[in-house]
C-alpha cells in the first residue's frame, strides 16, 4: 500500500464480499472477505455447499460471520473490566476501563491500522485505514482499554442532542506472553461520531466499485406530497426508501445508490397496463447497480440477482399493484405510502438530479396557481389595462402629450 493513501473497506456479511476503495484515486477491488479480518469470526460448521460462481464445492472452507460487540473487545468478559482512572483522549476527559485477556489463539494474523475509524451495521462493516497497515499477531496475552467520556463531559449528537458516557475509543495492547516486559504491538480504534441507531447506508457507498460494471438510472413515484414525506427527517425517509426498494428488487441496499427525492404532479398514461395517477406525488430517483459476481465464505450467502433480473422483478411488482411502503420519518414516526402503479421508468443519466448537480440533492418543487389566485390575477390585469386605456385616450384627445396648461404672467 503506498504511503499516504487512504482506503475505505466495506464488508458485506450477507454476501461475503469485500469492497476496497482507494479514496484518493477511486480505484476499487472486489474480493471475498478475508477469513482473518478483524471484524470476522469463525462460523459454526455447516453441511451446506459453498458456491464460487462457476462450481460448488463441499463445505471444507472456513466460514465466517460478523463479530459481536463483545468479541470486538478481544473476548474480554464484562466482569473482567476494572476501573483504571481518568485520561485525556483527543481532548475529551474519559473514564478508562481495563481488562486482560489470556485466552487468545496464537498463529492467526490480523491487519489493522495505527488509527482506524469504523462504523458497524448488522450486515455491513466499514473501516477507514490511513497510511500503512500494521500486522498484529494474535499472541498469548493482551490488554484492552475502553474509553468512555466522563459523566461531566457532554457530547453533542445529531439525533439525540446532548448525551453523556459515550464510547470514545478502544486500545488493544499485545504481547507474546504474560511475563513480557513490554507490549509488542498497539492497535487503537477511535470513534469520531456517535449515534444510537444504525449508521446510514451512505457510509457504505460502494458505487465506485459497481457502477463501472453496469447500472440503470431509474425513477418511480410515491402517492404522497413531498412536504409530508420529508417534514421530519429527509435522511430517515431516504434510508427507509433505499431498504424498501432493495427488498422489492431482491438485492442488497448497497446496490441502490444516489437516491434523491423531488416533488411533482401525477400524469396521465396511455398505456393499458398503467393506471392514471393524478395529484401531487414524490419522485424517487435512484441508480440500480450490477451484482459484483463474487461470493464470500459466509453462512448461507444471499443469492445475488443480476441487474436485468432485479429490474424485471422491481418493474413486475410495481407495474400493476399499489405497493405499500412503511417509511420511517425519524423520532419513532412512521408513514405508510404507496408506489404509483406503472411509475417505474428508466431515465437518461443526464436527467438524474445527482448527475446534474454533482453535489448534495436539491429539492425541486413544482407548484400551480389556485383558483383564487387566478381570479385575483385576472382582476388586476383588467384594472391595469383600463388605466392604460384611459391614459392613451386622454393623450389622443389632447393631441399634445405633456403638460395640458401653460403658466403666464
End-to-end CA distance of the chain: 100
Q: Which residue has the higher pLDDT, 353 or 70?
A: 353
Q: Where in the chain is the domain with CATH 3.30.70?
A: 206-357
Decide: 299 and 59 in contact? Cβ < 8 Å. Answer: no
Out of 77-86, 116-125, 222-231, 345-354, pick the least confident.
Answer: 116-125
CATH of 206-357, one of 3.40.50, 3.30.70, 1.10.8, 2.30.30: 3.30.70
Look at residue 219 and tell me whether its pLDDT is greater than 70: yes
d(CA 190, CA 408): 93
> Mean of the pLDDT values across residues 398-402?
60
Q: Find the helix or strand (DSSP H, E) in which 85 lies.
A: strand 82-89
Task: Please name the residue ranges forming H helices in 105-146.
Answer: none
User: Given this model, what pLDDT does residue 179 score?
Assistant: 80
Confidence of residue 193 (pLDDT cuts 50, 70, 90): low
pLDDT of residue 203: 81
What's the confidence (pLDDT) of residue 297? 87
Residues β-bridged to residue 196: none
Q: Angle formed by the axes of helices 307-320 and 234-249, to 10°?
A: 100
DSSP codes of every residue in 189-230: EE-----SSPPPGGGG--HHHHTTT-EEEEEEEESS-HHHHH
* Residue pair 18/28 in contact by the 8 Å Cβ criterion: no
Q: Phi/psi at 393 (nearest 5 deg)? A: -65, -40
Instruction: Based on DSSP, count helices (H) and strands (E) in the chain, helices before strands.
Output: 6, 24
Query: Angle at Cα 123 formed by Cα 300 and Cα 196, nearest 5°?
Result: 150
C-alpha separations of 162 from 154, 234, 333 in Å: 6, 22, 21
Cell of residue 13, nine digits = 456479511
Residue 303: what pLDDT? 82
Helix (H) or strand (E) holding 112: strand 109-112
How far is Cα 283 from Cα 263, in angstroms, rounded to an integer? Answer: 6
pLDDT the model gives residue 289: 94
**295 or 320, higher pLDDT:** 295
Model confidence at 299, pLDDT cuts 50, 70, 90, reads confident
**For the segment 257-284, what is each residue's pLDDT rounded down to a tens digit?**
999 999 888 765 545 455 456 678 999 9
Sheet order of strands, 256-265 included: 256-265, 280-289, 215-222, 345-346
**At 236, is the secondary structure helix, strand, or coil?**
helix
Q: Which of 233, 261, 230 is nearest to 245 (CA)?
A: 261
Query: Average pLDDT, whole number, for the chain?
Result: 76
Q: For the residues of 343-405, what is the DSSP string, one character each?
A: --EE--GGGSHHHHHSSS----------HHHHHHHHHHHHHHHHHHHHHHHHHHHH---S-SS
Q: Which of the pair, 111 or 48, is modelled with greater confidence?
A: 48
Q: Is 50 exceeded by the pLDDT of residue 110?
A: no
Q: Which residue has the cell 413531498?
A: 226
Q: In this predicted structure, what is the pLDDT of residue 139?
A: 44
pLDDT tens-digit map of 144-166: 899 988 888 876 655 555 667 78
Amino acid at each position: 500500500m503506498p504511503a499516504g493513501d487512504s482506503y475505505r473497506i466495506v464488508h458485506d456479511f450477507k454476501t461475503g464480499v469485500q469492497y476496497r476503495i482507494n479514496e484518493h484515486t477511486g480505484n476499487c477491488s472486489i474480493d471475498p472477505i478475508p477469513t482473518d479480518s478483524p471484524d470476522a469470526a469463525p462460523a459454526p460448521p455447516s453441511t451446506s455447499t459453498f458456491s464460487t460462481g462457476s462450481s460448488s464445492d463441499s463445505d471444507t472452507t472456513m466460514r465466517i460471520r460478523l463479530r459481536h460487540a463483545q468479541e470486538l473487545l478481544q473476548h474480554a468478559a464484562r466482569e473482567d473490566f476494572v476501573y483504571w482512572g481518568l485520561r485525556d483522549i483527543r481532548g475529551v476527559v474519559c473514564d478508562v476501563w481495563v481488562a486482560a485477556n489470556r485466552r487468545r489463539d496464537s498463529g492467526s494474523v490480523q491487519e489493522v491500522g495505527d488509527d482506524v475509524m469504523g462504523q458497524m451495521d448488522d450486515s455491513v462493516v466499514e473501516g477507514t485505514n490511513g497510511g500503512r497497515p500494521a500486522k498484529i499477531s494474535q499472541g498469548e496475552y493482551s490488554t484492552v482499554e475502553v474509553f468512555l467520556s466522563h459523566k461531566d463531559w457532554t457530547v453533542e449528537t445529531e439525533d439525540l442532542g446532548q448525551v453523556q458516557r459515550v464510547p470514545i475509543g478502544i486500545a488493544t495492547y499485545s504481547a507474546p506472553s504474560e511475563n513480557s516486559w513490554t507490549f509488542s504491538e498497539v492497535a487503537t480504534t477511535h470513534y469520531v461520531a456517535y449515534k444510537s441507531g444504525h449508521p446510514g447506508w451512505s457510509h457504505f457507498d460502494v458505487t465506485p466499485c459497481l457502477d463501472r460494471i453496469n447500472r440503470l438510472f431509474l425513477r418511480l413515484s410515491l402517492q404522497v406530497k413531498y412536504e409530508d414525506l420529508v417534514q421530519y427527517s429527509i435522511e430517515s425517509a431516504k434510508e427507509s426508501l433505499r431498504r424498501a426498494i432493495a427488498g422489492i428488487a431482491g438485492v442488497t441496499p448497497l446496490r441502490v445508490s444516489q437516491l434523491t427525492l423531488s416533488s411533482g404532479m401525477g400524469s396521465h398514461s396511455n398505456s393499458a397496463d398503467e393506471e392514471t395517477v393524478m395529484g401531487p406525488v414524490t419522485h424517487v430517483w435512484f441508480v440500480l447497480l450490477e451484482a459484483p459476481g463474487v461470493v464470500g465464505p459466509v453462512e448461507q450467502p444471499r443469492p445475488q440477482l443480476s441487474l436485468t433480473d432485479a429490474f424485471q422483478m422491481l418493474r413486475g411488482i410495481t407495474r400493476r399493484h399499489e405497493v405499500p411502503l412503511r417509511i420511517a420519518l425519524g423520532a419513532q414516526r412512521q408513514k405508510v405510502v404507496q408506489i404509483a402503479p406503472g411509475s417505474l421508468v428508466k431515465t437518461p443519466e443526464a436527467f438524474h438530479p445527482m448527475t446534474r448537480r454533482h453535489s448534495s440533492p436539491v429539492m425541486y418543487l413544482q407548484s400551480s396557481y389556485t383558483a383564487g389566485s387566478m381570479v385575483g390575477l385576472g382582476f388586476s390585469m383588467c384594472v391595469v389595462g383600463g388605466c392604460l386605456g384611459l391614459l392613451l385616450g386622454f393623450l389622443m384627445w389632447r393631441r399634445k402629450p405633456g403638460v395640458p396648461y401653460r403658466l403666464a404672467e
